[in-house]
Structure 1
Amino acid sequence: MEALKLKTVDDLLAASVERIELMNGELIKRPMARSEHALVQSGLSDETLPFKRKSSSGGWWIMTEISVRYTENHCPTHDLAGWRKERVPARPTGIMETLPDWVCEITSPGHERKDLFTNFMALQRYQVPFYWVISPEDRTLIAYQLVGEHYHVVFSVECATAEQVKAARIPPFEESGIDLGYVFFGNHE
């Protein structure tokens, strides 16, 4: 029996298909983009805009659909990821090779295990300080913070209405409230 050969970043870059990522040495097909996913992703990107606009002190580089090379065999594409500008002062380019300070994944039906288990375990192992998981269908957000070597829940909510959580103070963005009504329902006020 032949040993399984782990795929590398070179294999990912050479792949002829789009919408794949490298997870634990395996090329994984990413789910088709859906409007629910895209609207939550763009809504959260809008809500983090004040942090993107700040200079190094308190500022962030926040990107959507960004590939991060953790190792030669692990290069997932995160729905959103952020780096503090005081740690990464120059505008990033290419595939990120610097550990993010925050990652947010938005679940897709049938792919929940990837975000709730596989990514959770990998990001905890690589010591990413903050990890959020959002479900557009359930309108839930769970925020984890690394404490020592393990993630702990620091915020969780299920939004039943747009008015329920207007200014959620969620680490690492607790200085400015995130309007989850806007993120989940698209309501503008």
Structure 2
Amino acid sequence: MGRGKRPATYEDIEALPPGWVGEIIDDELWALPRPAKWHAWVASELGVELGVRFGVGRRGPGGWWFVDEPELHFGRQVLVPDLAGWRYERAPGLIERNDPFFDLAPDWVCEVLSPSTAALDRGRKLWLYHQEGVSHAWLMDPQAHTLEVYRRGARGWRLARYGGEAVVRAEPFDAEPLDLGRLWAPGPTPAPGP
């Protein structure tokens, strides 16, 4: 933050135009427009895949709360990942409070990378997630068709990379296979015939 510049406050987030997402990182306001369609598609598809298997547990082991774009408050830091998940046993009453934000660090976060957010997501936000005790962070690049899985270690993150159309078992959801090819936005479809 520059000399003489005041620290960002929550009022700065509330003053953003409709459709903008605000985060406060190191007392600086980061204002971002709504994501592109391919970004939203990947986040939505991943939320459905994980939610059905691990959230409500209809086709899998269950045990997780999932929230799209939750507002996380870590002291003065305000972060908004694309997706986040909390294990039931660690956060049994997570959604009982009527607050518009979460102050308990998630067990897992996912950031879907876009050209305007990739540096922030890979840099300061990833470091803050580690500092706050998030055990796993996923970075998904819908243009490069890659998934980076970060597992929290004592001194930093341990990284596993996956890509393309692979079917993977990615922590912390490795109890079930995940078909990456189903997550990427579909290509153009041919026009119907006469």
TM, length-normalised to structure 1: 0.85
Counterpart for residue 69 of structure 1: 73
How far does residue 25 in structure 1 lie from its aligned partner after superposition? Answer: 1.2
How far does residue 44 in structure 1 lie from its aligned partner after superposition? Answer: 0.4
The aligned length equals 178
- The whole-number CA distance in structure 1 between the counterparts of 2:42 and 2:103 is 26
Counterpart for residue 25 of structure 1: 27
> Which entry has the higher C-alpha Rg, 1 or 2?
2
- The whole-number CA distance in structure 1 between the counterparts of 2:112 and 2:158 is 19
**What is the RMSD of the two structures over their aligned residues, measured on CA atoms?**
2.2
**What is the SS of the residue equivalent to 1:82?**
strand
Q: Is the 8 A contact 1:44 1:183 kept in 2?
A: yes
How far does residue 97 in structure 1 lie from its aligned partner after superposition? Answer: 0.6
How far does residue 20 in structure 1 lie from its aligned partner after superposition? Answer: 1.6
Counterpart for residue 146 of structure 1: 152
Counterpart for residue 46 of structure 2: 44
| Mapping for residues 72-111 of structure 1, pairs under 5 Å | 73-92=76-95, 93=98, 94-111=100-117
Counterpart for residue 126 of structure 1: 132
**What is the SS of the residue equivalent to 2:85?**
strand
* Unmatched runs of 5 consecutive residues or more in structure 1: none
- Tell me which amino acid in the other structure corresponds to 2:175: E
TM, length-normalised to structure 2: 0.83
Structure 1 outlier segments of 4+, above 4 Å: none
* Unmatched runs of 5 consecutive residues or more in structure 2: 188-194
Counterpart for residue 4 of structure 1: 5
How far does residue 13 in structure 1 lie from its aligned partner after superposition? Answer: 5.2
How far does residue 149 in structure 1 lie from its aligned partner after superposition? Answer: 3.5
**What is the SS of the residue equivalent to 1:46?**
helix
Task: Please state if 1:174 is matched with 2:174.
Answer: yes
